[in-house]
């Protein structure tokens, strides 16, 4: 019996021993979380030359991809042709970062359908119509509905054989500036 007594604690760890191991493990994890350097993705993003990408994209779509001229404080973080899951609609898409650091996307297609449009505006009913830059834009406002993601507000118009959607988190004046710039490009 004397030889068996010292072996018992080694075979059956005590609750105190398990708690000490758990605390030590959590301390190591906490240390690693605090020490490991994580990159700042926003600081690493570089502006995209959306006008050059639009020129290349023009060969692949049946419409002229928009590349609106904007003040230097605006910059694009993405410009690409995509095919939407809703009906396989081919779209030209530019993501803009506004002077206030908000986001507005410009999405353009010649193949819009109700499902695609509902997806672009966050499945909210159409709101009031506004005139910006000589075009009539229908608004879609989700700002009071909780988590809106990147589509808190949207403006939609049809012009030049395309449906154009401006959607994002920007302020009304930034939406108006982009809509006016789009209208100027379509007119010129």
Q: Which structural domains are found in the chain, ordered by start?
A: 48-187 (3.30.200.100)
Residue with tokens 């993405």: 78
- Return the C-alpha torsion angle 79, 84, 85, 88, nearest 10: -140
Per-residue pLDDT 10s for the chain (188 aa) are: 555 555 555 556 687 888 888 899 999 888 888 888 776 555 457 889 999 999 999 888 888 999 999 998 999 999 999 876 656 788 999 999 999 999 999 999 998 889 889 989 988 889 999 999 999 999 998 887 777 778 889 999 999 889 999 999 999 999 999 999 999 998 87
Rg (Cα) of the chain, in Å, rounded? 27
Note every long-range contact of 171-176, with CB atoms under 8 Å and residues 24 or more positions apart, other chains counting: 171/98, 171/100, 171/102, 174/98, 174/99, 174/100, 174/102, 174/104, 175/104, 176/132
* Cβ atoms within 10 Å, residue 90: 17
H-run or E-run covering 118? helix 114-120
Determine the Cα–Cα distance for residues 184 and 2; give it in Å rounded to an integer: 95
Q: Are residues 96 and 106 in contact, defined by beta-carbon separation less than 8 angstroms?
A: yes
- What is the per-residue pLDDT for 178? 95
162-168 β-sheet, strand order: 75-83, 90-97, 103-109, 162-168, 153-159, 135-141, 129-132
Determine the Cα–Cα distance for residues 143 and 146; give it in Å rounded to an integer: 7
């Amino acid at each position: 019996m004397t030889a068996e007594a010292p072996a018992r604690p080694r075979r059956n760890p005590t609750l105190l021993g398990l708690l000490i191991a758990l605390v030590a493990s959590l301390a190591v994890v906490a240390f690693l979380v605090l020490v490991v350097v994580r990159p700042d993705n926003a600081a690493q993003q570089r502006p995209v030359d959306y006008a050059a990408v639009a020129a290349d994209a023009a060969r692949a779509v049946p419409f002229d991809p928009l590349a609106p001229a904007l003040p230097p404080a605006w910059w694009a973080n993405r410009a690409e042709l995509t095919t939407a899951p809703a009906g396989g609609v081919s779209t030209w898409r530019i993501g803009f970062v506004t002077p206030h650091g908000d986001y507005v996307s410009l999405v353009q297609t010649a193949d819009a359908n109700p499902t695609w449009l509902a997806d672009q505006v966050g499945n909210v009913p159409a709101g009031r119509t506004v005139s910006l830059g000589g075009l009539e834009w229908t608004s879609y406002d989700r700002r009071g509905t909780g988590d809106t993601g990147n589509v808190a507000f949207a403006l939609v118009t049809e012009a030049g054989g395309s449906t154009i959607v401006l959607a994002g988190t920007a302020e009304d004046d930034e939406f108006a500036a982009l809509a006016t710039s789009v209208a100027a490009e379509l007119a010129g």
